[in-house]
Amino acid sequence: MRVSDDLARHEWRDPVSARSFIPHYRPMLYVIELPIGYARGRSRPSEGFIFNAQLRWNATVQPVVGLLADLCERHNRADITVTEFTQRRDRLLGAVVRLVEKKTQLNGLLEAYQEMRDSEKGPAEGAAQEVPRVDFAVTAASVDRIVAEAAAFVEQLRAEQARPPTGDGAASVPARAPVAT
């Protein structure tokens, strides 16, 4: 019995679970309580705008979570090398950090909008300072811009992750031809 060259190139790797990345990508997503959040958004238009923006954001960045899960699956199947996995993982985690920064910008806009809407209802007890007026159209356009930038960035990540691996490990080992009997 002849030992295959494929076995000689075998590289032991610990399996990686996509769950291990939850602490990294959780700050990137909004926690939305359904159906309570939906009901509040329907009864209060200002909260409806905020709720809708949060839903759009989550839908935009959710593919990054799928990319991380796919990367872990490809690593566990040995479709990519460990170094390729590490490079792609670091790239995705760096992208998560950039998306968290974008979410922080979005939070600032939504908080300013909420404060403006609350100030229109009347001053709260003990409120001595004037809240600057935020134009709804400007806020909506800014939210659209941030979500569009995030969507373009996520699409770029998807294209990068779809590329075949460049390493020289298990992914580059050609499949053996079937033996004729």
- Average pLDDT estimate for 46-63: 87
Using CA atoms, how far apart are residues 150 and 155, in angstroms rounded to an integer? 9
Q: Is residue 176 part of a domain?
A: no
Q: Is residue 34 part of a domain?
A: yes
Q: Is residue 55 part of a domain?
A: yes
Q: Is residue 126 part of a domain?
A: no
Q: Is residue 149 part of a domain?
A: yes
Tens digits of residue pLDDT in 103-113: 999 999 998 88
- Average pLDDT estimate for 1-30: 71
Tens digits of residue pLDDT in 156-179: 988 888 887 665 444 433 333 344
For 39, the domain range is 14-120+133-165
Q: Is residue 81 part of a domain?
A: yes
Tens digits of residue pLDDT in 57-104: 999 999 999 999 999 999 888 888 888 999 999 999 999 999 999 999
Average pLDDT, the chain: 76
Count the domains in the chain.
1
Using CA atoms, how far apart are residues 158 and 163, in angstroms rounded to an integer? 9
Q: Is residue 2 part of a domain?
A: no
Higher per-residue pLDDT: 163 or 143: 143
Q: Is residue 172 part of a domain?
A: no
Does residue 1 surpass a pLDDT of 50?
Answer: no
Chain centroid to Cα 82, Å, comes to 23
Q: Which of 91, 99, 87 is nearest to 62 (CA)?
A: 99
| Cβ proximity of 84 and 166 under 8 Å | yes
